[in-house]
Structure 1
Amino acid sequence: MNPIRIVVVDDHPVVRDGVRSMLAAVTGFEVVGEAASGPEAVDRVLATEPDVVVMDLRMPGGGGVDAVRELRARGSRAAVLVLTTYDTDSDTVAAIEAGATGYLLKDTPAETLFDAVRATAAGETVLSPAVASRLASHVRRPAASGVLSAREREVLALVARGRSNRLIADELFVSEATVKTHLVHVYEKLGVSDRAAAVATAYERGILG
């Protein structure tokens, strides 16, 4: 099995070195680059084509949210796992709506970070409990649960809990193809393009709560 290729982005050298060293020591991980700002991260990711970018948010010279938007605009398929000190509503929602796949805080235990990198590389949504709570409280519009069918809401709720398509299929006694079809319909109805954005939008609209 090929290793998960990772780029680490943080403006603090000590933090960046620490995260890089931790990840590099894990079997199955390969750190292929690092960056200290958003623009530098975009260049590094496009040059190395990693599977996962572990991204800080607030950095001098260009933050993580803008970097995520730029990467998506330029066609990068790297999954972005935010690793930051900040869990405010504006940071959380902005990062996920920009295209981040996961969001963890820097007080996350190392093993949780490792599991999150693996899950993010597999296309799963990873949210720390604090961030999930933030999203749940970030409801600005009236409930719009009628937008999705009961089954689509059920699938999306399981996605919000971090379940993979395979686990959702097992839990609902359907095929993975059926789960993928439901998610395609969810994306279309919510006007989003990935799992993390679907979860964020669903919480914002009151579909999940």
Structure 2
Amino acid sequence: MVPKQFSISNNPIRVMVVENHQLILWALTKLINEHRPHMEVTAIAGTQTDAIQLIDAAAPDVVLLKYELASMTQQSSLPDVLTRGRRTLLFAEEMETETLAHSLRCGAHGLLSRRSSADEIVKAIGKTHDGELWFGREATGLALSALRGGQPTRAQPSRDNLKLLTPRERRVLQAVIANKVRTNKDLAKHLFISESTLRNHLSSIYQKLGVSNRLDLYVYAQNHLAANTVEMA
């Protein structure tokens, strides 16, 4: 992926997003940019190498870096160029004890997971920018479980939850999956419904499937829906 740079305004928190999954990258970029002027994505990259090449020109305050990209290196710590004068927030696909331990060892300032809500992601960016460390509820639970010598358990959304959706909600979900980069406004037009009706449907879908936001929904679809299709039973 070719790194991209964005213009900034109103002195927001400057964020670089490093993610090699196009859909997740789009969702994170959209989420952060929706919080202007408080924060804004100033650059994106698909690999750690791309990020290093771009970082001086982009001058981010916070680097939101996919954990799996950071851990691909053999280094015990993140490259100095990613942490010098800025904060690094890791974003992991799966939260495990070793994920937390490696994040602490490598010098990251915080750790999120794909199950983190939109509010938590935004809050974590703000807190790490302010100089705090951010290891959310899931990471804290892992740490406490490890200290107690137990094995953490985590409920996973089940594919069977799809049976809870109404036929209309299934059509909405199918449209969301088929039109990944559309805004709610565009999706509502596509479905011939109002934005408020779409939001109501999405809220119900989130609750039934045990997800928190559009990003979680895409991940759920990847894990539970064959070929990104929804059975219309």
The answer, yes or no, to whether TM exceeds 0.5 is: yes
Q: 2:27 aligns with which of 18, 39, 43?
A: 18
Contact 1:53 1:80 in 2 (8 A): yes
Tell me the distance in 1 between the aligned counterparts of 2:113 and 2:138: 8
Residues in 2 aligned to 1:66 and 1:136: alpha-carbon distance in whole angstroms = 28
Letter in 2 for 1:111: D
**Relative to 1, partners in 2 of residues 1:53 and 1:95: Cα closer, same or farther, differing over 3 Å?**
same
* 3-state DSSP of counterpart to 2:68: coil
| 1:49 matches 2:49 | no
CA distance in 2, matches of 1:68, 1:2: 33
1:92-125 CA deviation, whole Å, 9 max, x = no partner?
1111211111111111111111111110100111
Identity %: 20
Aligned length: 138
Q: After TM superposition, list the pairs within 5 Å mapping 1:71-86 onto structure 2.
A: 71-72=79-80, 76-86=84-94
Q: Do the aligned residues in 1 keep the contact of 2:66 with 2:91 (CA within 8 Å)?
A: yes
**Structure label with greater radius of gyration:** 2
Q: Which residue of 2 aligns with 1:143?
A: none
How large is the Cα RMSD of the aligned pairs?
2.6
Aligned AA (1:79):
R
- Alignment of 1:88 with 2:96, yes or no, is yes
Q: In structure 1, what residue type is equivalent to 2:23?
A: V
Task: Please report how far the alpha carbon of residue 136 of structure 1 lies from its aligned counterpart in structure 2 after TM superposition.
Answer: 2.9
CA contact (8 A) 2:16 2:64 kept: yes
Alpha-carbon distance change, 74 to 85 in structure 1, aligned in 2, over 3 angstroms: closer
Matched residue SS, 2:116 = coil
Q: How far apart are 1:44 and its partner, in Å?
A: 2.4
Distance 1:67 1:77 in 2: 20
> What TM-score do you get using the length of structure 2 for normalisation?
0.53
Supply the distance in 2 between the matched residues of 1:39 and 1:67 (Cα, whole angstroms): 14
TM-score of the superposed pair, with normalisation by structure 1: 0.58
The residue aligned with 1:7 is 16
For residues 158-179 of structure 1, the C-alpha deviation after alignment (integer angstroms, 9 at most, x for no partner) is xxxxxxxxxxxxxxxxxxxxxx
Give the counterpart letter for 2:57 in structure 1.
A
Retained in 2: the 8 A contact 1:68–1:100? no
Aligned CA distance change for structure 1 residues 41 and 104 (closer, same or farther; 3 Å) = same
Aligned counterparts, 1:92-111, within 5 A: 92-111=100-119
Q: Is 1:35 paired with 2:45? A: yes
Task: Provide the secondary structure at the position in 2 that maps to 1:22.
Answer: helix
Separation in structure 2 between the aligned mates of residue 42 and residue 30 of structure 1, nearest angstrom: 19
1:117 corresponds, among 125, 129, 138, to 125
Unaligned runs of 5+ in 1: 141-209
Q: Does 1:127 align with 2:163?
A: no
The separation in 2 between residues aligned to 1:21 and 1:116, in whole angstroms, is 16
Q: Could you list the runs of 5+ residues in structure 2 that have no partner in the other structure?
A: 1-9, 149-233
